[in-house]
């Protein structure tokens, strides 16, 4: 255990405002503790290589880049339109939480990620990215439910799919969330197909 250095020994006869400034730095040093030793992998260089590779690859695929850009704009527009002004995450915004969902026996190949964005005025915007959910009959829709105490507690929106391909939709949970809250996706009974939960938290 390091002994605490003597401030008086370190600064000698510093007086007045200068002494106060040095004292503040001294206290912050004690409070902060030593900086960590860097492991070799971090000490060597900035992790630029992956970025360079990504950029080169992008440059050699001009058409793919244009397509990706168009897709990104479309997705951003759709998400922004759906969410309105409730949030503006930008590229620096981070989800408040991320929930991984897996398919039940009703949709064993389905999986999804539910991103919960910071709340605004009591609304928790959510982005559901799902794959593997089949198209439902006309007039039927998947429903997203907030689960509390083990039971579907409140609806958070509906969506349909065009097939089993990837899909991202924006939803909202206008509720006061609690510890232990979670979400599931259900489908209604339609024709001979039974209704029930098709996606539930992966850790459930």
Contacts with another protein by CB under 8 A lie at 1-3, 5-6, 9-12, 14, 18, 21-22, 24-26, 28-36, 38-39, 41-43, 45-48, 50-52, 55, 90-92, 94-100, 116, 118-119, 176-183, 201-204
Q: Quick check: helix, strand or coil at residue 187?
A: strand
The answer for residues whose C-beta is within 8 angstroms of residue 60's C-beta and 6 or more apart is: none
Q: Which two tokens stand for residue 141?
A: 């829709």
Choose between 42 and 163: whose C-beta lies nearer to another protein: 42
Choose between 45 and 121: whose C-beta lies nearer to another protein: 45
Give the C-alpha separation, 196 to 99, whole Å. 20
Choose between 5 and 195: whose C-beta lies nearer to another protein: 5
> Three-state SS string across 96-156, please?
CEEEEEEECCCCCCCEEEEEECCCECCEEEEEEEEECCCCCCCCCCEEEEEEECCEEEEEE
Choose between 36 and 191: whose C-beta lies nearer to another protein: 36
State the minimum distance, in angstroms, from the CB of residue 105 to another protein: 19
State the minimum distance, in angstroms, from the CB of residue 44 to another protein: 10
Give the C-alpha separation, 81 to 153, whole Å. 27
Q: Which two tokens stand for residue 5?
A: 């250095």
State the minimum distance, in angstroms, from the CB of residue 42 to another protein: 6
Give the C-alpha separation, 162 to 37, whole Å. 53
State the minimum distance, in angstroms, from the CB of residue 108 to another protein: 19
State the minimum distance, in angstroms, from the CB of residue 164 to another protein: 22
State the minimum distance, in angstroms, from the CB of residue 163 to another protein: 26
In the chain, DSSP finds a helix count (H) and a strand count (E) of 5, 8
Choose between 119 and 160: whose C-beta lies nearer to another protein: 119
Choose between 5 and 163: whose C-beta lies nearer to another protein: 5
Q: Taking Cα atoms as reference points, which of 119, 112, 123 lies closest to residue 169?
A: 112
């Amino acid at each position: 255990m390091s002994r605490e250095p003597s401030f008086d020994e370190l600064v000698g006869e510093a007086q007045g405002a200068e002494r106060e400034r040095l004292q503040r730095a001294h206290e912050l040093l004690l409070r902060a503790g030593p900086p960590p030793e860097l492991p070799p992998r971090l000490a060597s260089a900035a992790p630029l290589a992956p970025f360079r590779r990504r950029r080169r690859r992008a440059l050699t695929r001009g058409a793919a880049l244009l397509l990706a850009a168009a897709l990104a704009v479309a997705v951003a527009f759709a998400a922004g339109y759906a969410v309105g002004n409730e949030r503006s995450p930008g590229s620096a915004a981070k989800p408040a939480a991320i929930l991984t969902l897996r398919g039940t026996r009703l949709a064993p190949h389905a999986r999804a990620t539910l991103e919960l964005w910071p709340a605004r005025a009591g609304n928790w915007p959510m982005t559901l990215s799902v794959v593997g959910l089949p198209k439902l009959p006309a007039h039927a829709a998947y429903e997203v439910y907030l689960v509390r105490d083990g039971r579907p507690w409140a609806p958070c929106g509906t969506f349909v799919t065009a097939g089993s391909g990837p899909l991202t939709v924006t939803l909202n949970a206008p509720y006061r969330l609690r510890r232990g809250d979670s979400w599931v996706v259900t489908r209604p009974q339609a024709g001979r197909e039974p209704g029930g939960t098709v996606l539930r938290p992966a850790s459930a």
